Amino acid sequence: MRALTWLLLAATCLSSLEARADVVDPHPGIRVVHGGGMAMVVADLCTAGVSVRATKWDERNRTAPSWAQAVDAEVAINADFFDFPGWSFVVGRARGAGEDWPAGAQLKEIRTYWQFGVNQAGLVPNAATEPGYLITEIVGGHNILIDEGKGLGPLYDGDAVLQGSHRRTAVGLSADRRYLYFFVSNVALNGDGIVWNMVSHNAAAGTPPIHWATNMDGGGSSQLYVKGMGSVISSTRPVNNHLGIYAKGAGEPWHCNRAPEGWLDSADASGAKGWAHDVDVPNDPIDVFVSFGGPVFSGAPSKKLKSAKHRDDLCTAIGSCAHGFDVAPPLSLLDGQPHPVHVYGMDEAGVTNVELSGSPKTLQATAPEPTGLRRALGEGGEAAWKLDPIWHRLPASDAAITGLALGTALPASPVLVQGDDGAPEVYLLDGTSLRHVSDPGVMDAWSFDWGSIEKRPASELAGLAKGNAWPARPVMVTTTAGESFLLDETLPELGPPPRGGAGASGSGGGPSAGAPTAKPGSTTARDDASGCSATSTRPGHAAGLWALLGLLGLGAWRRPSGTDRFRRSLPR
């Protein structure tokens, strides 16, 4: 019932407003809706030359027109509550042109605040939270009126200031943080009146919905100045701080958050390949979210990873090289059927996540016949080894599975060991032999826990035979009877341990450059030649299945759960 009442009131306000309001665009990126003693300014923060300015400490105690003319701003309103007529402090946080106000002259109440900086515009709900990086302009926001597109009335935060009717000033922002709204009323309004009139003025402006809005100082302080229009809502009261807008028509739109860009170039059995880049952080790799079998939130198997692969073509095209990605598909999808592959670039600011150009593409591939040894997974083996039937199970017939040589059963759970002599090699204990975990990506692909690596006497490890390197990624097959096996490369004859123990391969007494230790700084899969031992090389794979798996790359394959993978996902 309340939602219907809101709609009826908004429709009534809009109908009444359209009859008396004027809509003008006095400056590039600025729209003004005014009439009937109320006005709203909508600023497009992505228009060239548009930026925000707040009052510096030594600029306080001025009317909005006086301050705007002093700093050459096109638009200005009054901002935070202050000690009238003392002009010695404001209630919330305050920063202007990168300069904080004195500590004793701000933050008298823990409310909200608006912050603006390089590629940033936003509302911080708790003033105790420190401002973000590269934030140059801050004003206190006081009571939240609209949160995530919904009005919080009639109670709001319980503050009596919203229950009575007064002249009002309010500030709002769109969900994509592109549109900034200044609303000022010479008509006395309560909290609901502010929200209804902000919504109706915005509808008249034809701009996107208001996602967040706060009440600012009002009463005799409310005032709005627009260059060329003068005092649209006037007051003779000097106020302590202001929020202004520059709209020069040229120059960088400093607060504009731009969406990521990129392409999904291909999707086949070897992987989904492409690039993604955020122009707001041009030299940093960003996250991409890859969904195999359907769009995001469809429940399809998916993975998030950094687009950090070096690509020579990007060096010239976008001026930065390390923004490529190459993501192997779930093995279960190599079933000859078509599967859509969607890839999204994730905004570093957490604002606008977008589907990349060229997405979706169709993956349609058939798995090769399995080769190597099949090793039985005992009861609970899939869970103990963190195997996922979607990502790790290769489609195969019973005949193909039973035709493989049967090896020894897999250990009940992985045991990782490392010598206590400082040698960097990490091994998996496979029965009475050691299997070298030859790359950090192998650790990730198997979801091995770096913290679980056990230190063992080097002399003990030296007495164990060395087997083949541990496979690059897990591959399992399951018969129609439900019997599951892990595929292992055909093992060579196990030779005697090398002379000199586990560190005799020439690795020296400490980790080589690029070789991970038991507690690496990063466990991200790398494309360089370094591994869990910089001096050990990985044996070549056989043709067929293992050759394909070599192309599939190394990654930590898990199905993310829930919708917290995105702070927000926008439709294409």
pLDDT digits (tens, 9 = 90+) for 17-74: 555 689 999 999 999 999 999 999 999 999 999 999 999 999 999 999 999 999 999 9
Q: How many CB atoms lie within 10 A of CB 551?
A: 13
Tokens in use for 381? 């083996």
For residue 409 the two structure tokens come to 């059963």
Q: Within a 13 Å sphere around the CA of 568, how many CA atoms are in the beta-carbon half?
A: 13
Q: Fill in the DSSP letter of residue 472.
A: S
Q: Which CATH architecture has domain 261-363?
A: Sandwich (2.60)
Question: For residue 305, what are the β-bridge partners?
Answer: 288
Q: Which residues of the chain have pLDDT under 70?
A: 1-20, 490-572
Which DSSP string do the residues of 323-389 spell out, in sequence order?
EEEEEPPPGGG-BSS-EEEEEEE--TTSS-BEEPBT--EEE--BPPPP-SEEEE--TTHHHHTT--H
Encoded tokens for 162: 């919203």
Q: Which residues contact 299 (CB under 8 A, 6 or more apart)?
A: none
Question: What is the pLDDT at residue 258?
Answer: 87
Distance CA 360, CA 430 (A): 42
**What pairing do the DSSP bridges indicate for beta strands 242-247 and 75-78?**
antiparallel
Express each pLDDT in 285-320 by its tens digit.
999 999 999 999 999 999 999 999 999 999 999 999
Dihedral in degrees, nearest 10, Cα atoms 469, 472, 473, 478: -60
Instruction: Work out whether the CA dihedral 247, 252, 256, 259 comes out positive or negative.
Output: positive
Reduced to 3 states, what is the DSSP secondary structure of residue 41? strand
pLDDT score recorded for residue 518 = 31
Q: Can you give the pLDDT at residue 17?
A: 56
Distances (CA, A) of 367 to 393, 404, 512: 11, 16, 37
Q: What is the pLDDT of residue 491?
A: 52
Residues 6+ apart with CB under 8 A from 319: 282
Helices 2-20 & 191-205, crossing angle to 10 degrees?
Answer: 60
Q: How far is CA 178 from the centre of its chain?
A: 18
CA distances to 75, 238, 291, 338 from 52, rounded to whole Å, are 9, 20, 38, 49
d(CA 327, CA 352): 22
Q: Which amino acid is at 316?
A: T
Instruction: Copy the structure tokens of residue 318.
Output: 């976008």
Rounded to whole angstroms, how far apart are CA atoms 491 and 504? Answer: 22
Classify burial at 298, counting beta carbons within 10 Å of its beta carbon; exposed 0-12, middle 13-18, buried 19 or more. Answer: exposed
* pLDDT at residue number 152: 98
What's the confidence (pLDDT) of residue 433? 94
Neighbouring residues of 141: CB distance < 8 A, sequence distance ≥ 6: 80, 92, 111, 112, 113, 114, 123, 124, 171, 214, 216
Question: Using an 8 Å Cβ cutoff, are 257 and 176 in contact?
Answer: yes
d(CA 365, CA 451): 37
Q: Is 133 helix (H, G, I), strand (E, B) or coil?
A: coil
Pull the structure tokens for residue 343.
Answer: 């890839």
Q: Which one-letter DSSP state was computed for residue 569? A: B
Pairing of strands 242-247, 50-54: antiparallel
Q: How far apart are CA 263 and CA 550, in angstroms?
A: 24
Amino acid (one-letter) located at 149: G
* pTM to 2 decimal places: 0.64
Q: Which residues pair with 339 in a beta bridge?
A: 363
Question: Where do the structural domains in the chain lie, given as residue ranges?
Answer: 2-247, 261-363, 373-496+524-552
Cis peptide leading into 282, omega within 30 of 0? no
536 backbone dihedrals φ, ψ, rounded to 5°: -105, 140
